[in-house]
Amino acid sequence: MNVIIIILIGIIFASVGQVVLKIGMNSMGSITNYTPSTIIATFLNPYILSGLAMYGLAAIFWLIALSKRDLSFVYPFIALTFIIVLILSNVILKESIGIYRIIGTFIIILGLIVIMKT
């Protein structure tokens, strides 16, 4: 399988995992105390468990990608998680996207295009 595809699959898992973690934390409310029962309840939340599982899958794909290409090639693709999370947080969580985030997103995409040419 092409290393770019492997990287993208991992990035998608990480991005979706981040949104699912946020949904889980929204359902839990703000954490104001750090007692063992609060921590256990947080980690037993189905959304939190699902988000962590997605991060685990992302890590597996990340390791596969690292076995195939240099870290200096693979690592910049992490910037795609910002773009995907930005889009998902707008669509799913109804968070607003400002002009500076849009400009930053285009800069990230331009940088990735340059890196892929090497």
User: pLDDT digits over 53-83, tens only?
Assistant: 999 999 999 999 999 999 988 988 888 898 8
Task: Kindly list the distances between the CA atom of residue 59 and the CA atoms of 31, 88, 95, in Å, as whole numbers in the listed order.
Answer: 27, 20, 27
- Confidence class for position 115, pLDDT limits 50, 70, 90: confident
Contact 17, 52 (CB under 8 A): yes
Structural domain count of the chain = 1
| Residue length of the chain | 118
Sign of the CA dihedral running 104, 59, 74, 3 = negative
The residue behind tokens 């991005």 is 15
User: pLDDT digits over 35-57, tens only?
Assistant: 898 889 899 999 999 999 999 99
Contact 17, 51 (CB under 8 A): yes
Contact 78, 10 (CB under 8 A): no
Whole-prediction pTM value?
Answer: 0.85
Q: Give the domain extent around 65.
A: 3-116
